């Protein structure tokens, strides 16, 4: 039977990028001793305050149909929070609410790009980005994020790939998988390009509250000069250890949100009122768990880098934020995929091949920093032992 073209455009994406993760889960289910460092889930449970807020909302009857834009109480809370953090006024009309960042990003891109357009995306990128761009019919244009620049997107690299078809630039700051954070100068230079060449900036900011000490987060939404062309997406999944609640939003110009509303309503018709009430609590009260995660993830990243660089030939890119670190495995003579499969089979540790996030990480792997300290220590010992065995084998 004939199916829509979107199914062909998305063929080979999605779950196929997680082959090592799926294989590791199967091995563990069969009794193998596997330390899993593939996906990034918060290493703490949902705060009890948020659980209580959602339960109380359910009991009070907040289970009916939703406002298509998202519940007004949540949008007011977001407006107050963004007005303070971005340093310019926002109102409830500047937000649409969605089930998580992924859904918000899908809707935003569907509202901006279509067949014949191009969307500029940093390479490496989060694993779903190629899919959300392809779903619109637009072509994805990779912009290299270079290790020598700390994997921060550079305006010159964007400029070299701009064409008359360029409709949008998809940013991630803080970045997954590299942990880089754009500086104020980076963001301003990128905004100037967007204004000069008339394209949108879409900024995925889900890791905003997991920036390590000594690094400052800057959003494109903070620049009034680019306010008419900047849209951000985010959620409480990472900051509040609430990935399963799927509560996110987009923030942007009122005219943009007004135009996107019929698409959002066609897809979802708002988010669940009881989850919106819980999210309002999260936004107004801040996160009771983010600071602890920041400290633990930064400490584990430093431990990973110190241990591997002292005892192996592997090199670690030290992240500035987020839940992951990158390890360069080029000295093993393997690419990232071959290394990840070998480490899983012969070392008992599951990591993600860099190519799951773009061709720019062909000789890298991504390591999650979200497992318990004892398991993290076990994984480090196994990675060191495996790397030294590879060195002896190649000698």
**pLDDT class for 329, splitting at 50, 70, 90?**
very high
The reported pLDDT for the residue numbered 234 is 98
**pLDDT class for 8, splitting at 50, 70, 90?**
confident
Q: What is the mean pLDDT of residues 320-333?
A: 96
Residues whose CB falls within 8 Å of the CB of residue 360, separated by 6 or more in sequence, listed in order: 123, 124, 142, 144, 145, 354
pLDDT at 382 over 70: yes
In this structure, are 193 and 222 located in the same domain? Answer: yes
The reported pLDDT for the residue numbered 17 is 75
In this structure, are 53 and 40 located in the same domain? Answer: no
Structural domain count of the chain: 2
The reported pLDDT for the residue numbered 16 is 66
**43 neighbors 372 (Cβ within 8 angstroms):** yes
pLDDT at 95 over 80: yes
In this structure, are 60 and 163 located in the same domain? Answer: yes
Task: Single out the residue of 191, 282, 273, 271 nearest to residue 232, CA to CA.
Answer: 191
The reported pLDDT for the residue numbered 199 is 98
The tokens for 99 are 């089930």
**pLDDT class for 6, splitting at 50, 70, 90?**
confident
The model's pLDDT over 30-52, given as tens digits with 9 standing for 90+, comes to 999 999 999 888 999 999 999 99
In this structure, are 220 and 99 located in the same domain? Answer: yes
**pLDDT class for 9, splitting at 50, 70, 90?**
confident
pTM value is 0.94
In this structure, are 115 and 220 located in the same domain? Answer: yes
3-state SS assignment for residue 162: coil
Residue 312: domain span? 5-45+289-394
In this structure, are 128 and 277 located in the same domain? Answer: yes
Strand-pairing partners, residue 122, are: 143
CB count in 10 Å sphere of residue 9: 17
Q: What is the mean pLDDT of residues 43-68?
A: 95
Return mean pLDDT, the chain.
95
The model's pLDDT over 17-33, given as tens digits with 9 standing for 90+, comes to 788 999 999 999 999 99
The reported pLDDT for the residue numbered 14 is 59
CATH of residue 266: 3.40.640.10
pLDDT at 15 over 80: no
More confident residue, 313 or 5: 313
pLDDT at 381 over 70: yes
In this structure, are 77 and 25 located in the same domain? Answer: no
CATH of residue 322: 3.90.1150.10
Task: Single out the residue of 179, 190, 169, 59 nearest to residue 118, CA to CA.
Answer: 169
* DSSP letter string, 251-319: E--HHHHHHHHHHHHHHTSS--HHHHHHHHHHHHH--SSHHHHHHHHHHHHHHHHHHHHHHSS-EEEPP
The reported pLDDT for the residue numbered 55 is 97
Which of 264, 285, 306 is the last residue in one of the domains? 285
Which of 221, 253, 285 is the last residue in one of the domains? 285
The reported pLDDT for the residue numbered 395 is 61
In this structure, are 127 and 152 located in the same domain? Answer: yes
The share of the chain scoring above pLDDT 70, in percent, equals 99
In this structure, are 95 and 145 located in the same domain? Answer: yes
Least confident of 96-105, 182-191, 229-238, 385-394: 385-394
In this structure, are 96 and 176 located in the same domain? Answer: yes
The model's pLDDT over 205-243, given as tens digits with 9 standing for 90+, comes to 999 999 999 999 999 999 999 999 999 999 999 999 999
In this structure, are 214 and 298 located in the same domain? Answer: no
The reported pLDDT for the residue numbered 18 is 83
The model's pLDDT over 162-187, given as tens digits with 9 standing for 90+, comes to 999 999 999 999 999 999 999 999 99
In this structure, are 254 and 116 located in the same domain? Answer: yes
pLDDT at 392 over 80: no
The share of the chain scoring above pLDDT 90, in percent, equals 90
The reported pLDDT for the residue numbered 317 is 97
The model's pLDDT over 109-153, given as tens digits with 9 standing for 90+, comes to 999 999 999 999 999 999 889 999 999 999 999 999 999 999 999
pLDDT at 83 over 80: yes
**240 neighbors 54 (Cβ within 8 angstroms):** no
Q: What is the mean pLDDT of residues 274-290?
A: 97
Which of 240, 256, 285 is the last residue in one of the domains? 285
């Amino acid at each position: 039977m004939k199916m829509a073209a979107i199914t062909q455009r998305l063929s080979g994406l999605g779950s196929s990028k997680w082959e090592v993760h799926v294989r590791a889960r199967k091995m563990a289910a069969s009794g193998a001793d596997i330390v899993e460092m593939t996906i990034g889930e918060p290493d703490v449970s949902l705060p009890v305050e948020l659980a209580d807020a959602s339960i109380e909302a359910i009991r009070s009857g907040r289970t009916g149909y939703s406002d298509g834009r998202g519940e007004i109480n949540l949008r007011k809370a977001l407006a107050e929070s963004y007005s303070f953090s971005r340093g310019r006024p926002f109102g409830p009309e500047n937000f649409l609410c969605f089930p998580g960042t992924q859904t918000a990003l899908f809707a935003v891109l569907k509202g901006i790009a279509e067949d014949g357009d191009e969307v500029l995306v940093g390479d490496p990128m989060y694993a779903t980005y190629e899919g959300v761009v392809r779903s619109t019919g637009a072509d994805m244009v990779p912009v290299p994020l270079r290790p020598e620049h700390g994997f921060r997107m550079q305006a010159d690299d964007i400029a070299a790939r701009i064409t008359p078809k360029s409709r949008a630039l998809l940013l991630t700051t803080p970045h997954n998988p590299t942990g880089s954070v754009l500086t104020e100068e980076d963001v301003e230079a990128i905004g100037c390009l967007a204004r000069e060449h008339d394209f949108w900036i879409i900024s995925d900011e889900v890791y905003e509250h997991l920036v390590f000490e000594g690094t400052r987060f800057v959003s494109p939404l903070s620049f009034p000069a680019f306010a008419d062309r900047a849209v951000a997406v985010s959620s409480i999944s990472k900051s509040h250890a609430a990935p399963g609640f799927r509560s996110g939003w987009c923030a942007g110009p009122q005219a943009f949100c007004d135009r996107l509303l019929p698409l959002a309503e066609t897809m979802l018709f708002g988010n669940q009122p009881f989850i919106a009430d819980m999210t309002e609590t999260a936004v107004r009260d801040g996160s009771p768990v983010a600071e602890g995660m920041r400290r633990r993830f930064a400490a584990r990243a430093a431990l990973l880098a110190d241990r591997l660089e002292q005892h192996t030939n592997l090199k670690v890119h030290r992240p500035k934020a987020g839940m992951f670190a990158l390890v360069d495995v080029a000295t093993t003579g393997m690419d990232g995929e071959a290394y990840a499969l070998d480490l899983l089979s012969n070392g008992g540790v599951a990591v993600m091949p860099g190519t799951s996030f773009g061709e720019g990480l062909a000789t890298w792997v991504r390591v999650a920093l979200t497992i318990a300290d004892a398991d993290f220590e076990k994984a480090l010992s196994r990675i060191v032992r495996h790397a030294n065995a590879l060195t002896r084998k190649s000698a």
